[in-house]
Amino acid sequence: MTRRAFSILAAAALASPLFSQDAPNLAGQYRDTANKLIDAALIDHDGLDKLSYLCDRIGNRLSGSPSLETAIAWAAAQMKADGLVNVVTPPVKVPHWVRGSESAMLLEPVAKPLTMLGLGGSVATPTKGITAEVVPVSNFDELEKKGREGVQGKIVLFNVPYEGYGRTVAYRASGPSRAARLGAVAVLVRSVTPVSLQSPHTGALEYNPAAPKIPAAAVTIEDATLMQRLADAGNTIKVHLEMEAHMLPDADSANVIGEIPGSEKPEEIVVMGGHIDSWDVGAGAQDDGSGIITTLEAAHLIVKLGLHPRRTLRVVFWTNEENGGAGGLAYREWVGDQILNHVAAIEMDGGAEKPSGFGITGRGDAQTILGKVRDIGKLLERIDAGSIQSGGGGADIAPLMKDGVPGLAVRTVGTHYFDWHHSQADTADKVKPEDLRANIAAMAVMAFILADMPDTLRTPPAATK
């Protein structure tokens, strides 16, 4: 999940709470079907096997990497094997950032290697690295107070305690340019995570075109607080930073798309998916292997049970969510006027911890929309995943939502997601089999009913209706 994706969700969640109108009768109509899907999901093994293959055999998959293209080819083959049709991989040009070799060393007042990960998109240091004094700050105000005279020629350390991802990630995103404008030569950012076992977390930075581009890396909570303590004790902190990070020309990648064609209104489309790319650490298991495998396995179960939704149910694995969003934009472009036939889009990009329900953002009569989704949510109460809240979407479906498509997001308990996110710890063991199965169940029920129900969430209705 990118910072942008998080902002979308967070902003949506801040919208006024909405109340269900008199419920339509979706729950009654679909109870048997929902129970069949849930029963099948709760004993499913294929989803886990696929996630293990993706994580363990293919591994992480940064835009531009051979492993992403291996994953894309595997995913297309897997969609076909799972009974999806019209499987295509429309090409997408993606940014190609390469980490290269990197290291950071505390030189003064003691010599000690620092545990770090360069931030995605960072430029390199000069070949011989940068050696400079470190100035720790706890927030942007402190940075501004230090000003150019306090920062010029130095490495700024943003030692910002975690106060939720949304608040804290600002320092990773805009910290480098904020420091650069005051003359800093590099930036270290305390990893954006609630807990650490010497765990650096990467993620994208956002250079401001008006500022010089300076190299930036995440350090661990342990090393950030070490430098803070040393500075507080009156020491001058000196660090040597070496990074080879650089951008190559845009690389060839692709979205992966497969369908269960609609039985009555094949031209109307419900999209569900996640992003197939990941950062270049860990295995992209929760972020977002779990999202794409959940949607694929949900579709697979619908096929296996011989269910035929009235509308087309389309599974999309978007590429390049983490450092560019090219996949989401390319999909929007690819569908062209068909956008008018997209009746709903579901994105799953918050990990597969125990699901609690869905968030929904749609245009028009918000109460009616929420009421319909809440009615579907009733069918998920048996797995405690029936909580439907106002506020849904995701980075990849944002271009669709901008053009009027109602957007949904899976919600989970979210207990540990940010402990693992963008780090070496985002590996397949973090996805509990029972939680993955519950997510598959919730996704299958929600997607099938959205694609089959008499009405849609879209107002005005889809063009061809």
- Residues in contact with its own copies by CB under 8 A are 49, 52, 56-57, 59, 109-110, 112, 115, 195-199, 221-222, 225-226, 229-230, 233, 282, 419-420, 423-425, 427-429
Nearer residue to its own copies within complex by CB, 152 or 235: 235
CB of 221 to its own copies, least distance (A): 6
CB of 429 to its own copies, least distance (A): 4
Nearer residue to its own copies within complex by CB, 52 or 263: 52
Q: What is the DSSP string of 202-214?
A: --B----TTS---
Nearer residue to its own copies within complex by CB, 199 or 341: 199
Task: Give the SS3 label for residue 121.
Answer: coil
Which residue matches tokens 């040393």? 230
CB of 195 to its own copies, least distance (A): 8
Question: Which tokens go with 299?
Answer: 């579709």
Which residues sit opposite 274 in a β-bridge? 317
Nearer residue to its own copies within complex by CB, 67 or 323: 67
Residue of 102, 321, 347, 353 with catalytic role: 321
CB of 433 to its own copies, least distance (A): 11
Buried b (16+ CB within 10 A) or exposed e, 173-189: bbbbbbbbbbbbbbbbb
Strand order in the sheet with 116-118: 112-114, 102-108, 238-243, 130-137, 155-158, 186-190, 216-219, 116-118
Nearer residue to its own copies within complex by CB, 59 or 150: 59
For residues 44 and 437, the answer to whether their CB atoms sit within 8 Å is yes
Distances 155 to 102, 240, 246 between C-alpha atoms, Å: 16, 10, 19
Instruction: Report the largest interatomic distance among the alpha carbons of the chain, rounded to a whole angstrom.
Output: 73
Task: Tell me the C-alpha distance between 31 and 374, whole Å.
Answer: 14
CB of 225 to its own copies, least distance (A): 4
Q: Which amino acid is at 465?
A: K
Q: What are the phi and psi torsion angles at 414 (to 5°)? A: 60, 40
321 is catalytic: yes
What are the catalytic residues? 321
